[in-house]
Amino acid sequence: MTKFSFEVPIKHLQDFHEDQDYIFSLSFLFQDPDYRSYITMNQKFHILDNSYNELGEPQSLDSLISIYKHYKTDLLVCPDSDQWDSKRTVMSFAEAASIIGTDQVIGIGRSLQEIRSLTRLGCRYLAIPFEHRLCLPIPMFSPVHFLGLNNLMELLAFEPETVDTSMPIKLALIGKTIDQWVMMGCPHINTKDLIKSCDFFHMKMKVAEVKLAKTNIQRLKEVVAYGQNFNGILHG
């Protein structure tokens, strides 16, 4: 069954803690003392991300390794970038794996070539960004982490091991439910288009927004659980 981690504003980490199946931390947020405190108290499975999607460039491997070791995270997403060629992307995984081991590093695959190369290097956990998933033969590789969420159907079709997304929270910020999002055709919502005066991770949500976000999370989980259980029964 797919497990979810939801990116939420730092002020609301405790509000959503019970909704997190695991922790997907963002390396650049460790500069915030409240974020560090939350992570220190966390006892859940923990994946450390390189913050490429938030910063536009990944944090260095040295800084990631330092956080990984200090906070004893379970897995590390190696540095990656849309601007890198396949060779550099694959070598990023190889470099990280040479330091902490292949079992602890999540490789990033944006093409079939990259997936095959990572597999040959012993990559055991693959992450695929949301923009690239529709063009890749995802079932050939397992386990898979989905970076971001495109729609509910991809979760039912591919049953990824883990997913990180802020979609239920972003929908709540515009007063929409998961069901309404599906009826709209699951449009991608950019965080930067929603938050103008302050950045998403440091904003203060209204009580009604928190409540709707939690309802969205519950609805997302129940739909996916029902669909994946049905798939399991169907395929025996």
Q: Confidence class of residue 231 from pLDDT cuts 50, 70 and 90?
A: low
Is the per-residue pLDDT at 233 higher than 80? no
pLDDT > 70 in the chain, percent: 94
Q: For 10-29, how does the pLDDT look when each residue is reduced to its tens digit (9 = 90+)?
A: 999 999 999 999 999 999 99
Q: For 102-134, how does the pLDDT look when each residue is reduced to its tens digit (9 = 90+)?
A: 999 999 999 999 999 999 999 999 999 999 988
Residue 207, token pair as written in the block: 């009580």
DSSP tally for the chain: helices H, then strands E: 10, 8
Nearest one of 18, 26, 11, 14 to 164, comparing CA atoms: 26
The rounded distance, in Å, linking the Cα atoms of 175 and 159 is 28
Q: For 153-194, how does the pLDDT look when each residue is reduced to its tens digit (9 = 90+)?
A: 999 988 999 999 999 999 999 999 999 999 999 999 888 777
* Average pLDDT estimate for 202-211: 96
CA 113 vs CA 31, 85, 97, 105, 137: distances in Å = 36, 11, 19, 19, 11
Q: Which CATH number fits domain 3-166: 3.40.50.1100, 1.10.1270.20, 3.80.10.10, 3.20.20.70?
A: 3.20.20.70
Average pLDDT of the residues of the chain: 92
CA 142 vs CA 104, 122, 228: distances in Å = 15, 12, 16
pTM listed for this prediction: 0.93
The number of angstroms, rounded, from the C-alpha of 96 to the middle of its chain's C-alpha atoms is: 19
Q: For 207-227, how does the pLDDT look when each residue is reduced to its tens digit (9 = 90+)?
A: 999 999 999 999 999 999 988
